Amino acid sequence: MEKTEEESEEAVLKRLEESVNACPDDPSLHFDLGVLLWEKGGKSEKEKAAEHFVISAKLHPQNGAAFRYLGLYYAQVSADTQRALKCYQRAVSLNPDDSHSGEALCDLLDQQGKESLEASLCREASAKSPKAFWAFRRLGFLQLHQNKWSEAVQSLQHAIRGYPTSADLWQALGLAYQRLGRFTAAVKSYGRAIELDDTDVFALVESGNIFLMLGSFKKGVEQFLQALDISPQSVSAQYGLASGLLGLAEECINLGAFRWGASLLEEASSVAKAGTHLAGNISCIWKLHGDIQLAYAKCFPWTEQGQGLEFDAEAFNASILYWKQTCCIAAVSAKRSYQRALHLAPWQANIYTDIAIASDLISSLNKSYGNNLNAWQLSAKMALGALLLEGDNNEFWVALGCLSDHNALKQHALIRGLQLDVSLAVGWAYLGKLYRKEGAKQLAKQAFDCARSIDPSLSLPWAGMSADFHARNLAPDEAFESCLRAVQILPLAEFQIGLAKLALLSGHLSSSRVHGAILQAVQHAPHSPESHNLNGLVCESRFDYQSAAAAYRRARCAISSCSASISKSYTRDISLNLARSLSKAGNATDALLECEDLKKEGMLDAEGLQIYAFSLWQLGKQDLALSFVRNLAASVSTMEQKFVVASVSFICRMLYCIPGLDSAINSILKMPEKLFQNSRVSFIVSAIHALDQSNRLESVVSSSRSFVQSPVEVAGMHFLIALSKLVKQGTEFCLGVQSGIAHLRKALHMFPNSSLMRNLLGYLLLSSKEWNDTHVATRCCNIDASDSANKVGLKSASEILGAGAVACYAIGNKNRKFSFPTCTYQCLKEPGAIQQLQKCLRQEPWNHNFRYLLILNFIQKAREERFPHNLCVVLKRLISVALSSDLYTKTDMSYQKFQLLLCASEISLQSEDNIGCINHAKNASTLLLPDDYLFFSHLQLCRAYAAESDSLNLQKEYIRCLELKTDYHIGWICLKFIELRYNVQNDTNILELSFKESSKERNYSWNMGMAVFNLVWGLISLRNEDFLSAEEFLAQACSLAGAESCLLLCHGATCMELARKLCDSKFLLLAVKSLTKAQETSVIPLPIVSALLAQAEGSLNSKEKWEKNIRLEWFSWPPEMRPAELFFQMHLLARQSKSVSISSSNVELCQSPQRWILRAIHTNPSCTRYWKVLGRFDLIQRS
C-alpha cells in the first residue's frame, strides 16, 4: 500500500515536472512542484524546491506562501538570515495573517536584538489586519517588556480573542492590569490564567500579592499556599505567605485575639525562616522575619500557669518570667533579623528604624541599660541613622521623637516631622503625649485635638483626651466613651488599664467591654500590679469573688516582684480589696488573715475594720468582733463623710447580730442623731425598729426617714414598713398579715407602678387564709410587666398567679364542659395560670418553684376533668421529675415535697393504684413537718384504705388524724365525710369540737366552713334518705354561707324531694325561694336550677313562670351536654306554645314537638317515657 502511495507520489511528481516543463510560465505549477519537493524533506529536494519557489515568486510576486517557503529555506537550509528576513518580510506584508512567517520573522529579529524593528513590524501587521493575532500577541509581550502597560493591555486583549486559551496571554494581561493599578481586573485575568493552567506559579503569586495589597489576607494566603504546593522552593511565594500570615495576625491582634495572632505569627515565622534558608542574601526576607518576630514579641500573651485554686506565687513569678523571656527572645530574634537585613542592604534607611524599635522593645522588657557604653541610647541612635540617610522622611522624625529619651530632642524631632508634613496625625498625637507628660496641658490638648481632627481613626488622641478629662471638663461618661474608642481601635494594655480606671469613676465597671479589655491588659502587662488590681475590681463588680481574690493576690505578688517603688497606700488598697473579696466569696478565714496582716502594719482603716469584724463574726468569734465594732464606732466621728454611712450601717447590723436587739437599740439611741440622716442608714434602722415591739426607736426612725426621697427608695421603705407591720401587729404564732395588707393598699395608691409592692401585696393576700383574698391577690399583680420588674420582691407575679389559681378552682377554668363554677369573684377573665406557668418554666427551666406550682395547677385541672388518663400520665412524669431533684432533700423544702408526694398519692389513687397511693402517703407522713400538715397525709391514707375497704387500717388512720389535728377546716370536713361515709367507729365528738376550734379565728371563713360542714352532714343525710334532717342541715348551711348558689341548689332540690314525698306545699315554697336565689346569685347560669324551679313553679300552677324557667334551663346548658330530659321538656314547652302561639321568637319553636321528642330519644334511647310520647304522636298523625 505504502509502496503504491509512494509510487503514486512519484507519478504525481513526474506529471507535475512534465507539466512544468510544458508551461514554464505558470507560477502555480512551479509552486505546487516546490511544495511537493519540500515535503519530501531531503536537502537536495529542498534546494530544488527553493529553485521552483524562486521561479514561482518571480512569476507571481503576490504569492505570500512562496515567500514563506523561501524564508524557511534560507533560515533552515542555507542559514542566510538576511535573505530569510527579506522573504519573511515579503510574506508578512503580502499576508499579514500569516502567523508562521510572522513568528519566524520576529524570532529572527529577536535573535539579532532588533526590538524596535520587531515592534514596528508587529504594529504594521496588526494595523493591516485585525486577524493578525500573532502580531498582537508579540506586540503585547513587547510592550509589556517595555513597560508600556496601557498599550500592552489593548494589544493583549486583542490577542486573547485569537488565542482565548493561552494562559501566557492571560498572565501577561494580568501583569499589565496590575501595573496599571487595576487590581480587580488583574485578579480576574490571573484567575483565568490559573484556570487554564493550574501550575501557573507566577499568576498565583502575583494575584496573592494583589490580595495582600487589597487587605484580603486570607485569600492571599490561599493563593500562596497553592503556589507553594506547585513550587515549594518559590521564595516569592514563601515571602508572600509569610507576609499574608503577618497581615492576618495583625488583624487578629487589632481585634484583641492575641493568642490566635501569636499562633499565626509562629507559623509565619517558620515560613519566613524557610525563605531565608532558600535565599539568605535577600534583605527583605530578613526584614519580614524581623517584622514577624517583633509583632510576636509585642503580642505574645501572658497565660497563667497552674490553674489550681491555691495561689502559687512562685508559679506566678515563673509564668511572668517565662512570658518576659519569650517576648525578649522574639524581640532579640527580630533585632538579629533586622541586623542581617541591614548588613545585606545598609543603604536602606527604614531598617535602621526597625532596629531602633526592636532594641527599644528589648530594653523596655529588660528595664536595664546595662552594657551600653554610648552616651546615646541605641534606639535613638539607630533612629538617627535612618534620618541621616533620608532626612526628609517625616516618619523617621516621628520615630526619633518616640524613641529618644531627651524631651527636648523629642519635641524637636516631632516638630521637624510636622514641618515636613503638617497633616501628620501621628506626629501631633505624640507631640500631645509629650506635652502632657511635661505638664503643658493646654498645648497637649491642642495637639491631641489637631491629631483627632486629621485622623479620627488614630487611637492615641482619644486616649489622651480621656486621660485629662479633668482639664477638659469632660463628664466621666464621655471620657469613658473616648477611651473605649481608643481601646477598640488599638488594644493596648496602657489604654485598657486607663479604660478600667475610667470605668471605676463612671460606674461602668461591670460592663463586659471593660471586662474584656482588662483581661487583655492582663495578658500584656502581667508584671504590672495595676492591671491585676483593676482586673480584680472588674471581677468583683461582676460578682465573681473567687477570681477577684486571685487577681488581687497576683497584684500583690506583682508588687513584691516589681523593682519600682510603690506607695504603701497602694499596697494597702490591694490588701483591702483582697480581704473584701475573700470575705464576699465566703472565705472568712483567709479574709481574717489578710486583716490581721494589715493590722500588724497598722494600716487598718474603717473598711478594713469592717471586714475584720465581719470575718470574726463569721468565724464565731463574737466577742472579738464586737470589740472591733466598738473600735469602729469610736472612730466614726473622725471618719471621712463617704465612709460614715457604710460604717454606721455596718455597726448597727453587727450590733443586732452579735449582742442582740436590745443592745443594738440602746447603742443607736446613744449615737448622735445626725449619723442616721441618710436613706441607706434609715433602712437599717427601720428594720431594727420593726423587730422592736416597744417602739423605742420611733423618733430616730421618723427623723431618718425624711432622708428617704427617691421614688424607688420610698417604695422600698413602704415595703419594709409593711413587713414591720406584719411583725408588730401579729401575735406570737401568727403574723399580722391584715395590717400589712392594709398598709400596702394605702401605699399602692401612691405608687401604682411599683411591682415590688404589688407582688408583696399579692403574697400577703395569699398568706392571709381569708376566703376571697386569693382572688384579689391574682388581680393585684401585673404579670404582663417586663421580666426584670417581675422578679422584685419576695415572690414574682407569676408565682402569685399560680398559687392563687391553685387556691380557687375557678381561676383559669374556661371549659364549661367539665364544671359550672359558682365562684362569685369573676375570675374567669384571668389568663390561664397553667399557660403562664409554662411560659415561666420555659424561660427558667431551673426554677423549681414554677415547676411545683405548675404541678399543683395541673392537679387542679385533672381533678376538674375527673382525672383523665392522659393528664394523669403527664402529672406522674412531672412529679417524678420534680421529686428527683436534689433540692427537695433540704429541710426547708419539705413542705413542697410533702405536697408533691400527696399529689403523687392522689394520682395513684385516681389511677386505681392503691399500693402506690399508700406508699406515697406514708412517705409524706414521715416528713418532718408540723402536725397541721401531717394530718393531711393520714387523711390521704384514710382515703386509700377506704378505697381498699380495709376498715381496720382506716380506723387506725382516722384515730391518728384525730390525734394530730389541724387548723384547716377543710381537713376536718373531709375527715367527717369519711367518718360518716364509711361508718368509722367514733365514740366522742372530738371532731366537731376540733373543727369549731380550728375555724374560730376567721370570721368570714368560719361561716363558710360551717356551711360546708353542714353541707356534708346534709349530703350524708341525703344518702341515708333522711330528707328532713338533710333539709335542716342544708338550710343552716345556706343561711351561714349567704348567697352561695351551689348550696342553695342542694337545699332547693332537697325541698323538692320532700315536697314530692310529703306532698307538702310548704317545702315547695321553700324550694322556690332557694332556687330563685340560686338563679340570681350564680355568675353563670347553673343547669338544673331552672329546671327544678320550673317544676316547682309548675307545681304551684304558675304556668308562665314554668315556661320562662324551662327556656332559661335550655340556655344554661352547653349545647353538647344537654340531657335528654331537657329535650323532652322543650317538647312540652313547644306543645304549650304551639297551642297558645305566641311570638315565634321563642326557642322551642325552632322545631316541631315531634322533633324535640326524636332528639330526646336520640340522646337517651333507653327511656320508655319518650317512646310512649312518640307513640302518641304517631297515633295523632295516623288519625
Partner 1 sequence: MKLAGLKSVENAHDDSVWAATWVPATETRSALLLTGSLDETVRLWSSDELVLERTNTGHCLGVASVAAHPSGLIAASASLDSFVRVFDVDTNATIATLEAPPSEVWQLRFNPQGSTLAVAGGGSASIKLWDTATWDLIATLPIPRPEGPKPSDKSGSKKFVLSVAWSSDGKRLACGSMDGTISIFDVARAKFLHHLEGHFMPVRSLVYSPIEPRLLFTASDDMHVHMYDAEGKSLVGAMSGHESWVLSVDVSPDGAAIATGSSDRTVRLWDLSMRAAVQTMSNHTDQVWGVAFRPPGGSGVRTGRLASVSDDKSISLYDYS
The angle that helices 394-403 and 378-389 make with each other, rounded to 10 degrees, is 170
Q: Does 346 bind partner 1 (CB under 8 A)?
A: yes
Segment interacting with partner 1 (CB under 8 A) among 383-391, 639-647, 654-662, 822-830: 383-391
The Cα 765–Cα 763 span in angstroms is 5
C-beta of residue 31 within 8 angstroms of C-beta of residue 63: yes
Q: Does 238 bind partner 1 (CB under 8 A)?
A: no
- Judged by CB under 8 A, the residue of 22, 79, 373, 952 near partner 1 is 373
C-beta of residue 117 within 8 angstroms of C-beta of residue 92: no
Q: What is the DSSP letter of 62?
A: T
Give min distance, CB of 396 to partner 1, in A: 11
Give min distance, CB of 340 to partner 1, in A: 7
Place of cell 533552515: 76
Amino acid at 744: L
Q: Does 294 bind partner 1 (CB under 8 A)?
A: no
Give the residue with the Cβ less far from partner 1, 286 or 296. Answer: 286
Give min distance, CB of 362 to partner 1, in A: 10
Helix/strand/coil for 1102: coil
Determine how many CB atoms are found less than 10 A away from the CB of residue 1120.
6
Give min distance, CB of 529 to partner 1, in A: 31
Segment interacting with partner 1 (CB under 8 A) among 97-105, 385-393, 824-832, 1010-1018: 385-393
Segment interacting with partner 1 (CB under 8 A) among 28-36, 346-354, 932-940, 1052-1060: 346-354
Helix/strand/coil for 215: coil
Tell me the backbone φ, ψ of residue 442, rounded to 5 degrees.
-65, -45
Q: Among candidates 568, 562, 507, which has minimal Cα distance to 538?
A: 507
Burial class (CB in 10 A: 0-12, 13-18, 19+), 955: middle
Burial class (CB in 10 A: 0-12, 13-18, 19+), 22: exposed
Number of residues near partner 1 (by CB under 8 A) = 32
- Judged by CB under 8 A, the residue of 26, 312, 390, 844 near partner 1 is 390
The Cα 1155–Cα 402 span in angstroms is 106
- Judged by CB under 8 A, the residue of 349, 454, 887, 1167 near partner 1 is 349
C-beta of residue 792 within 8 angstroms of C-beta of residue 843: no
The Cα 504–Cα 536 span in angstroms is 12
Segment interacting with partner 1 (CB under 8 A) among 97-105, 384-392, 409-417, 786-794: 384-392
Tell me the backbone φ, ψ of residue 672, rounded to 5 degrees.
-65, 145
The Cα 149–Cα 166 span in angstroms is 19
Q: Does 1172 bind partner 1 (CB under 8 A)?
A: no
Give the residue with the Cβ less far from partner 1, 346 or 1118. Answer: 346
Give min distance, CB of 387 to partner 1, in A: 9
Give the residue with the Cβ less far from partner 1, 351 or 756. Answer: 351
Buried-exposed string 666-696: b where 16+ CB fall within 10 A, e elsewhere: ebbeebeeebbebbebbbbbbbbbbebeeeb
User: Site mask, partner 1, residues 573-612, x = CB under 8 A?
Assistant: ----------------------------------------
The Cα 941–Cα 473 span in angstroms is 77
Q: Among candidates 1123, 1129, 1130, 1115, which has minimal Cα distance to 1082?
A: 1115
Tell me the backbone φ, ψ of residue 597, rounded to 5 degrees.
-60, -45
Q: Does 952 bind partner 1 (CB under 8 A)?
A: no
Segment interacting with partner 1 (CB under 8 A) among 339-347, 433-441, 492-500, 631-639: 339-347
Q: Does 359 bind partner 1 (CB under 8 A)?
A: yes
Amino acid at 642: K
Give the residue with the Cβ less far from partner 1, 347 or 733. Answer: 347
The Cα 535–Cα 1121 span in angstroms is 70
Determine how many CB atoms are found less than 10 A away from the CB of residue 941.
25
Give the residue with the Cβ less far from partner 1, 359 or 482. Answer: 359
Give min distance, CB of 421 to partner 1, in A: 15
Instruction: For 75-127, give the secondary structure using H, E and C.
Output: HHHCCCHHHHHHHHHHHHHHCCCCHHHHHHHHHHHHHCCCHHHHHHHHHHHHH
- Judged by CB under 8 A, the residue of 389, 619, 874, 947 near partner 1 is 389
Give min distance, CB of 424 to partner 1, in A: 18
The Cα 208–Cα 198 span in angstroms is 14
- List the interface residues with partner 1, window 626-645 (CB under 8 A): none
Q: Does 138 bind partner 1 (CB under 8 A)?
A: no
- Judged by CB under 8 A, the residue of 381, 410, 689, 1122 near partner 1 is 381
The angle that helices 773-780 and 755-767 make with each other, rounded to 10 degrees, is 160
E strand or H helix at 1000? none
Give the residue with the Cβ less far from partner 1, 269 or 359. Answer: 359
- List the interface residues with partner 1, window 254-283 (CB under 8 A): 280-281
Q: Does 392 bind partner 1 (CB under 8 A)?
A: yes
- Judged by CB under 8 A, the residue of 336, 542, 1060, 1135 near partner 1 is 336
C-beta of residue 130 within 8 angstroms of C-beta of residue 159: no
Q: Among candidates 781, 888, 907, 790, which has minimal Cα distance to 839?
A: 790
Q: Does 374 bind partner 1 (CB under 8 A)?
A: yes
Give the residue with the Cβ less far from partner 1, 389 or 687. Answer: 389
Cα-based distances in Å from 940 to 909, 945, 953, 1094: 9, 9, 12, 41
Segment interacting with partner 1 (CB under 8 A) among 338-346, 812-820, 861-869, 909-917: 338-346
Give min distance, CB of 500 to partner 1, in A: 37
- Judged by CB under 8 A, the residue of 154, 216, 270, 339 near partner 1 is 339
Q: Does 330 bind partner 1 (CB under 8 A)?
A: no
Length of the chain: 1183
Give the residue with the Cβ less far from partner 1, 390 or 1057. Answer: 390
Q: Among candidates 592, 705, 576, which has minimal Cα distance to 643?
A: 576
Which triple of cell numbers denotes residue 1075?
332556687
The Cα 496–Cα 616 span in angstroms is 37
Give the residue with the Cβ less far from partner 1, 11 or 388. Answer: 388
Give the residue with the Cβ less far from partner 1, 382 or 1046. Answer: 382
Q: Does 384 bind partner 1 (CB under 8 A)?
A: yes
Q: Among candidates 459, 516, 463, 500, which has minimal Cα distance to 258?
A: 516
- Judged by CB under 8 A, the residue of 385, 491, 762, 1018 near partner 1 is 385
Give min distance, CB of 299 to partner 1, in A: 24
Amino acid at 82: Q
Q: Taking the CA of residue 417 as centre, how many other CA atoms within 13 Å lie in the half-sphere pointing to its CB?
A: 25
Give the residue with the Cβ less far from partner 1, 373 or 564. Answer: 373
Give min distance, CB of 344 to partner 1, in A: 9
Segment interacting with partner 1 (CB under 8 A) among 78-86, 349-357, 525-533, 952-960: 349-357
Give min distance, CB of 586 to partner 1, in A: 54
Segment interacting with partner 1 (CB under 8 A) among 389-397, 833-841, 884-892, 1028-1036: 389-397
Q: Does 352 bind partner 1 (CB under 8 A)?
A: yes
Q: Does 361 bind partner 1 (CB under 8 A)?
A: no
Segment interacting with partner 1 (CB under 8 A) among 332-340, 476-484, 730-738, 890-898: 332-340
Segment interacting with partner 1 (CB under 8 A) among 171-179, 344-352, 491-499, 560-568: 344-352
Segment interacting with partner 1 (CB under 8 A) among 373-381, 641-649, 681-689, 881-889: 373-381
Q: Which stretches of the chain bind partner 1, using CB under 8 A?
A: 280-281, 335-336, 339-340, 342-343, 345-349, 352, 355, 359, 371-374, 376, 378, 381-382, 384-386, 388-392
